[in-house]
Amino acid sequence: METTADGGPLLVMSGIVKEFPGVRALDGVDLAVRAGEVHCLLGQNGAGKSTLIKVLSGAHRPDAGEIRFAGRPVRPAGPTDAMRLGIATIYQELDLVDGLSVADNIFLGHEAARFGFTRRGQMNRAARRLLERLGHGEIPPTAEVGRLPAAGRQVVSMARALSHDARLIVMDEPSAALAHDEVANLFRIIRELTAAGVAVVYISHRLEEIREIGDRVTVLKDGRTVAVGLPADRTPTSQIVTLMTGRTVEYVFPPRPGPREDAPEVLRVEGLTLPGHFHDVSFTVRAGEIVGLAGLVGSGRSEILEAVYGARRPTAGRVLLDGRPVKGASTADAVRLGMGLAPEERKAQALLLEESVARNVSLAGLRRFSSLGWLDRRRELAEVAQQLKALDVRPHDPARKVRTLSGGNQQKVVLARWLLNRRRLLLLDEPTRGVDVGARAELYGLIRRLADEGIAVLLVSSEVPEVLGLADRVLVLREGRVIHQAPGAELDEEAVLNMITEGSAMGTVGTP
């Protein structure tokens, strides 16, 4: 306690090094967090944020460096150990057990018990007190966690942290799964926690949130600390972005010639509706055109793509490809008609990680190499190799396991799959997620090149600059509705961010 009394930091991590085979994820990171502050951790994907908090929570052992908590050197041996010290972590993917009740989840691992029998009444009462303290007395402690909405589950996670008397709570992208009004409640809870002397380490990609809730900012880049303790409200955005990227120009986008005047319309979507996801969505994509969907997670962007592709069945509206209505809802039909999807979760939804590059590329085009079901494997290999060369997949080895490729090259494998057969329409969901900055520019160039060859492209990205820089035309989505439509070149990032987060800027930007 003496550390908080004299104003010294509650947590000091210094010179933390963590190596994984082949890479230094952390290369001497420093972090100092005071009691009662919200300390924001910023950095691009791969900068080392997640590794750092896993070191702090005991999930990883650091190879070098020192952690001092409340003035004493500590070395958390695991999550339970860290909890006992008073360090709680709320992960991105909430680690709750769906089938158990709220109270059971809160006290998981430290149940109130006597002779091995749990004391339900006592736990339920304690759980209710914690939930009330978090302003959510309406959540019944006996409810099954699997039935709660995302915001409710997060409250349960926080109640669990409080049940350990945590003095430091790490929150990894807590707002990612929340709707706008739920974020406000999250902030209220964080303020109450910090007022009670709890320190919060807050990780988010949303700079505007950091301005609102943060006290100080530490920036990581490539496993190193590049700035410590910047004031969250006064540091200019440009400075933070420069620190994160290490340069002033963010991305390089290829020039946009745009579709030719006489380019035919490839995709027409009319009044597409799927309750709970999107409503009355209409748009068109012409051959050679890249149309971007900008919106937050949960705005319905991925679901629209999946509905066009036949992976979800809309309740109203229709999809036309080359003027002909796409009947039924099956991905097999979509592929036959000339569509291709690069899904959001590359590893979970697109790749056979244990299989070779060749088998991953040929998966959707097996018919091409077969007669009466018999595979011509020589032709398969030859055409895959040709495609890998065309897209410059590295290493250029069709027999290599896809798992061993970098994110950018894995994405190219997914694209190669579709380019093996001539495509009319490519649906790209977060094509640069998990792809490092250098490889991004290459992917941008590739996507533009495909459009120039006459393919219609529908692009979804949570990174607004990416949509604005790459797309010929941009649809802005909020809560499942298209609220704005404009050429990519005419929109600026701030206006779009405003629209997708609250829509307040509609008056100033103008509606179509």
Contacting residues toward another protein, per CB under 8 A: 20-23, 25, 45-46, 48-51, 54, 59-61, 309, 311, 330-332, 334-336, 341, 343, 348-356, 358-359, 362-364, 366-367, 370, 373-375, 377, 380-381, 395, 397-401, 403-409, 417, 434-436
Q: Least distance in Å: CB of 413 to another protein? A: 12
Q: Least distance in Å: CB of 140 to another protein? A: 26
Q: Least distance in Å: CB of 497 to another protein? A: 22
Pick 21 or 236: Cβ nearer another protein = 21
Structure tokens given for 125: 């009462």
Q: Least distance in Å: CB of 104 to another protein? A: 18
Pick 397 or 493: Cβ nearer another protein = 397
Q: Least distance in Å: CB of 347 to another protein? A: 9
Q: Least distance in Å: CB of 491 to another protein? A: 28
CA atoms within a 13 Å half-sphere pointing along the CA-CB vector of 111: 17
Pick 260 or 327: Cβ nearer another protein = 327
Q: Residue 208 in 3-state DSSP?
A: helix
Distance CA 409, CA 439 (A): 8
Distance CA 170, CA 53 (A): 7
Pick 269 or 413: Cβ nearer another protein = 413
How many other CB atoms are there within 10 angstroms of residue 499's CB atom? Answer: 23
Pick 184 or 297: Cβ nearer another protein = 297
DSSP state, residue 149: -
Distance CA 307, CA 341 (A): 11
Where do runs of H (alpha helix) occur along 392-482?
407-419, 437-452, 464-470
Pick 188 or 403: Cβ nearer another protein = 403
Q: Give me the phi and psi of 417, to 5 degrees please.
A: -55, -45
Pick 68 or 433: Cβ nearer another protein = 433
Distance CA 310, CA 330 (A): 5
CB 52 within 8 A of CB 87: no
Q: Please list the residues that pair with 27 across neighbouring strands.
A: 17
Pick 343 or 488: Cβ nearer another protein = 343
Q: Least distance in Å: CB of 221 to another protein? A: 12
Pick 61 or 389: Cβ nearer another protein = 61
Q: Least distance in Å: CB of 302 to another protein? A: 12
Q: Least distance in Å: CB of 373 to another protein? A: 5
Q: Please list the residues that pair with 39 across neighbouring strands.
A: 201, 216
Distance CA 318, CA 324 (A): 10
CB 290 within 8 A of CB 470: yes
CA-based nearest residue to 177, from 153, 193, 200: 153
Q: Least distance in Å: CB of 326 to another protein? A: 13
CA-based nearest residue to 71, from 164, 6, 162: 6
Pick 4 or 356: Cβ nearer another protein = 356
Unique residue bearing structure tokens 């319309």 = 265
Pick 398 or 488: Cβ nearer another protein = 398
Alpha-carbon distances of 113 from 80, 208, 289, 327, rounded to whole Å: 18, 44, 64, 58
Q: Give me the phi and psi of 182, to 5 degrees please.
A: -70, -30
Q: Least distance in Å: CB of 306 to another protein? A: 9
CB 110 within 8 A of CB 163: yes
CA atoms within a 13 Å half-sphere pointing along the CA-CB vector of 151: 16
CB 194 within 8 A of CB 200: yes
Distance CA 90, CA 95 (A): 8
Unique residue bearing structure tokens 């991105």 = 92
Pick 278 or 309: Cβ nearer another protein = 309
How many other CB atoms are there within 10 angstroms of residue 75's CB atom? Answer: 13
Q: Least distance in Å: CB of 406 to another protein? A: 4
